[in-house]
Structure 1
């Protein structure tokens, strides 16, 4: 499936501001929703991807996260922001593209990047340790959030 990131509106069939019931129905189209913290997750066995919907205290979607452990397979759920394939594009190239457009905040020694004005955040579990090290070349997770999500103190998704 193709998930297009469309800040501030949503990703794929899930929309920021969706009610609990509407988000559940949208997630059911992707698989079987399971409770995950203050939200739901759908695991997609064909690709290994997971799609999370996090809710605020009013029980509306405030953030959507897509995680994939492996990029570039034929069965993989693709995630695009404009023309960029966010999981197939090397992380350093993706960050360079974003730096041309907006402020990019590097955190966790290059494991995490937040783009507050675009309402996006990217994460990877490891970074390459050498030029020929294949690990950590791509991001594993992208989070799209509601406007204002990055304006306050840091929170765990769903806590605001």
Structure 2
């Protein structure tokens, strides 16, 4: 799945966050597990973040986001 020309499942999450922050207001949860771009009604998440000393399999599996939510306009707007 491409977002602004980036494959959200293969671009490292840190890079994805930086690229999106350069263009949009991005809300990132504590620990960098997920993000929301309200303007685009898009959210992304991963189940864990590789920790220092993690084995290569863990690093490879959790460096990128694992899921994407694409919602209708206004999905992330607060109550009216």
TM-based fold match above 0.5: yes
Count of matched residue pairs = 75
Query: Does the aligned pair in 1 maintain the 2:40–2:73 contact within 8 Å?
Result: no
Bigger share in strand: 1
Unaligned residue ranges in structure 2 (runs of 5+)? none
Q: Distance in 2 between matches of 1:131 and 1:103?
A: 32
CA RMSD in angstroms comes to 1.7
- In structure 1, what is the equivalent of residue 44 of structure 2? 122
What SS does the aligned partner of 1:103 have?
A: coil
The structure showing larger relative contact order (alpha-carbon pairs under 8 Å, at least 6 residues apart) is 2
The structure-2 alpha-carbon separation of the partners of 1:151 and 1:122, relative to structure 1 and needing over 3 Å to count, comes to same
Scaled by the length of structure 2, what TM-score is found?
A: 0.83
Q: Give 1:131 shift.
A: 6.8
Bigger share in helix: 2
What SS does the aligned partner of 1:94 have?
A: helix
